[in-house]
Amino acid sequence: MPNHQQQANALNLLGWTHFLQSNYRRAIDFAEQAIALYREISDRSGEARALNHLGSAYVSLDQYEQAIDIYQQSLAIVHELGDQQTEVFVLGNLGETYRNASQYELAIDFYEQSLAIAREINHTSGELNALANLGSTYLSIGQYQQAINLYEQSLALSRQVSARAKEGILLNNLGVVYRNLGEHRRAIGFYEQSLAIAREVGNRQGESNALHNLGGAYQSLGQNERAIDFYEQVLTITREIGDRAGEGNALGNLGLAYSKQGQDERAIDFYEQHLGIAREIGDRPGEGRTLANLGRLLAEKDQSELAIVFLKAAVEVRESIRSDIRGLDTDLRQSFTNTIADDYRFLADLLLGQGRIPEAQQVLDLLKLEELREFTDITRATWTGSKLQYTDPEQDVIDAHSSLIALGSDVIVCEETNCAELNSLYDRLSTLTAQYNQQVEQFQETIRRNRSEDEIFQDPDSLSGEAEKLLSAYAQNGQQTVLIYPFVLEDKLWIVWAATGNVIGSVEVPVSQGELATTVQRFGELLNSPNQLAELQVTSQQLYDWIIRPLETELTANNIDHLIFVNDRVTRYIPMAALYDGEQYLLERYTLSTVLAPGLTDTEDRLTNIDESEVLGLGLTQAVADFSPLPAVSEELDAIVRSDDADATGVYPGQVFLDDDFTLDTLKENVINHRVLHMATHAAFVPGQAEESFIMLGNGDPLKIADIEAMERRLRNLHMVVLSACQTALGGTAGDGTEIAGISSYFLEVGRAETVIASLWVVADTSTSLLMQRFYELLASGELTKAEALRQAQLSLLYDEDTETRLAAARTAIAVTARDGRPPTTTGFNHPYHWAPFILIGNGL
């Protein structure tokens, strides 16, 4: 009769062995067999151990939900058995899994539970690990002082128990925190201590890491020669221990350091060596980074056309790894997202400088997606843009360069082994290098020749497919529409526009990012000052002159009546409706909307039949937490929603839940049956912190981003979401407005809503209620698009007119409504403060 206990133990050990060898699928297979046997013989302790191994395998495959479920099963068993030592370990594993999944609050919770039990039972190693992991989690979310405190506690404990290897790692981590704080000198002190310990205990990998960080610190201080010395030491060690990834990073950093020294040829040599290794080991982030660095170096050498080729290649690589970004560790992921947007901006600027506007427009669309990814820290398969196209001459350069890199890698490997084919390889490399240089010369000659014949010869034949599709949808609805991209760079503002029929253009506006941000901030302050209308209009006119004035001739000549903005950086905080030309607000001349990016905008659906467009109205009237009451919300929702046929006041059928009845469960249970979700409640969208942004539920609980994301399939029947009392950090010079787009993106995900209407700041309760009522009344007429209904509702406040007057005006002149020469006033709700903050994002039809 077989000994099931021995079989189970052997299977568990085999599974763990495969795990250590990175054979994760085999590890799962053996762990599952072990678990089945442990359950058969009722060995609960063995089952818990095998579950832990199984969870670890799923973590390594980035299947975090599966891993969490398995760890929870293990946790229940060890808790039941009273095995607190193992409980400390499992809680730590759960914390690590949530940290890998970027669910930092849950990670902190489990680490703190692990820490509490470890201290209770005097489990020193468990306490040390929990403190260190908490420190790393706080580092990931940018709470550096908290990270320092935790690392220092863990460091003291490691010294107490003489855990020298762990001490070295913690010193290195402290250096990273101080590096992020910009205290490079202090970081160097910790790196040097970490280096000494790594050498003492023979930790070659730790030695390499410390040297690498020292190189980065000195490079940040502008001491490139010292940085080069450290990177060369890293290169030696990584080659000795066979760390190809580390070797590649050292080569890439050497390239950057030599580039800073002005030694371009040496820099290019190191970059190309790094590309060879990156492609060999599948290091796509490293490949993308070095291609971008190579492009920037070529731009500095006034080879902009060639720079564009390599920057396009960098974009192509980075877009291709989107589905794998979860596989990067937290520090790498943060570094990855912090640098990509700058490279996209650099490429777009080069393209615009050469008049290659459609290509620049495609890059700008990809940039919008990148910024959303960075804000939300979520990768969505549906968030894809059109692939950048190479011209034939560009493709020839890319192909020749790739062949050169591949052969160069073969030469290096042969040099290390002194293979018999070395001389032959040298000859082939010389020949291929000469061919590549000739290819580059031909490429540049082709550009010079074609530029003399056609300045924009390299432009694709048309706009990106997404942009053309969006513009066509509006054209089919009888609206002459233009897409406007304000593109903010440090020293300039580009205004790029596109219309149907491949009408494109761009203009460079000489205003710096700093001056633009300061003006936007002042605009925001004046919008909240009812007695400073004259100054508000002067400031607004300055913004108009920068953003709209350059397009006036084109807009007039093409009879444009609808403007769609794809806003960038601080321009996201501008209520475009309130831009003033000296006589009129932009709202008075055009219907307005914004999109996150053309590729994220679905225009297939419409709200046409009132009886089939049920509204779920959720509202907060009472004071909760630090938020004031919104007494007009009840009247607002009552005027919008009729709950039954006997209700004579509501416009759309639906349901209303107020205050304590407005809960997360209410939202979950009812949203799937409605086409419109109207939430009249407080909300705060926090710049750079998706996890801190929220919508306030009626019972005082925050509706977090994670809650919205978790509803996913429940949102599939929605067409429109209206957030009628939200606010952002309007006008903050440090913000870039991605929080506005970021929050909206959770509702505008493919397969969910098509339109979001939100406000940029908290508006007076009464005027918000009135505007919303008029919007729905106008929309219910069936004669106006959503964007036009919003515009007419806003104009009704500006002109102090009722809905019937607005609807009559809209029937006769939807495109333009005259001011009738009336001077601006500050009575009633005329002031832009009341009507300007409301923006429509997505499908305006």
pLDDT at residue number 627: 84
**Left if phi > 0, otherwise alpha if psi is -120 to 50, otherwise beta: which for 559?**
left
Which is more confident, 368 or 691?
368
Confidence class for position 787, pLDDT limits 50, 70, 90: very high
What pLDDT, on the 0 to 100 scale, is given for residue 306?
Answer: 95
pTM of the model: 0.77
| Concatenated DSSP letters of 611-669 | GG--EEEEE--S-BTTB---TTHHHHHHHHEE-STT-SS-SEEEEEEEGGG--HHHHHH
Task: Tell me which of 608 and 607 has the higher pLDDT.
Answer: 607
The DSSP secondary-structure symbol of 820 reads: T
Question: Would the pLDDT of 738 be above 80?
Answer: no
pLDDT at 785: 96
For the sheet with 683-685, list strands across it.
702-704, 694-696, 683-685, 726-728
Q: What pLDDT is attached to residue 691? A: 66
Q: Which residue shows structure tokens 């300007």?
A: 836
> CA-to-CA distance for 551 and 499, rounded, in angstroms?
12
- Quick one: pLDDT at residue 812? 44
pLDDT over 90, % of the chain: 63
CATH topology of domain 1-82: 1.25.40
Highest mean pLDDT of the ranges 313-322, 620-629, 757-766: 620-629
Range 721-734 average pLDDT: 61
Residue 720 sits at the vertex; the CA angle it makes with 718 and 726, to the nearest 5 degrees, is 120
- Quick one: average pLDDT of 199-206? 95
For residue range 441-453, list pLDDT tens digits in order.
888 888 777 666 6
Fold of 465-598: Nucleotidyltransferase; domain 5 (3.30.420)
What are the helix and strand counts (H, E) for the chain?
32, 16
pLDDT in the model for residue 339: 64
Domain 85-162 has CATH 3.30.43.10: no
Round the average pLDDT of the chain to a whole number and report it. Answer: 87
For the chain, the residue count is: 845
Angle (CA) 172-178-180 rounded to 5° is 105
Q: Which 8-state DSSP code applies to residue 780?
A: H
Confidence of residue 796 (pLDDT cuts 50, 70, 90): very high
**In the structure, what pLDDT confidence band is assigned to residue 322 with cuts at 50, 70 and 90?**
low
According to the model, what pLDDT value does residue 609 have? 83
561 closest CA partner among 784, 787, 816: 816
Instruction: Name the CA radius of gyration of the chain, rounded.
Output: 30
**Confidence at 456, pLDDT banded by 50, 70, 90:** very low
**Cα–Cα distance, 561 to 559 (Å, whole number):** 6
Q: Write the pLDDT tens digit of every residue in 376-416.
A: 554 333 444 457 888 888 888 999 999 989 998 899 889 88
pLDDT tens string 54-105? 999 999 888 999 999 999 999 999 999 999 999 999 999 999 999 988 788 8
- pLDDT score at 376: 57
Rounded to an integer, the average pLDDT of 484-512 is 92
Residue pLDDT, tens place only, 259-274: 999 999 999 999 999 9
Distance of CA 643 to the CA centre of its chain: 39
pLDDT tops 90 at residue 504: no
pLDDT-wise least confident of 51-65, 182-196, 818-832 = 818-832
Which pLDDT tens digit goes with each residue over 106-123? 999 999 999 999 999 999
Q: Do residues 265 and 437 touch, judged by C-beta distance below 8 A?
A: no
Judged against a pLDDT cut of 70, whether residue 813 lies above it is answered with: no
Has residue 730 got a pLDDT over 80? Answer: no
- Is the per-residue pLDDT at 155 higher than 70? yes
Sign of CA dihedral 544, 547, 550, 553: negative
Given a cut of 70, whether residue 727 has pLDDT beyond it is no
pLDDT of residue 249: 95
pLDDT value at residue 701 = 92
The fold of 610-842 is: Rossmann fold (3.40.50)
DSSP code, position 19:
H
Residues 6+ apart with CB under 8 A from 745: 372, 376, 596, 600
Q: Is 493 helix (H, G, I), strand (E, B) or coil?
A: strand
- The CA-based angle 607-561-838, given to 5 degrees, is 55
Q: Could you read off the pLDDT of 229-262 as tens digits, one per residue?
A: 999 999 999 999 999 999 999 999 999 999 999 9
Does the pLDDT at position 628 exceed 90? no
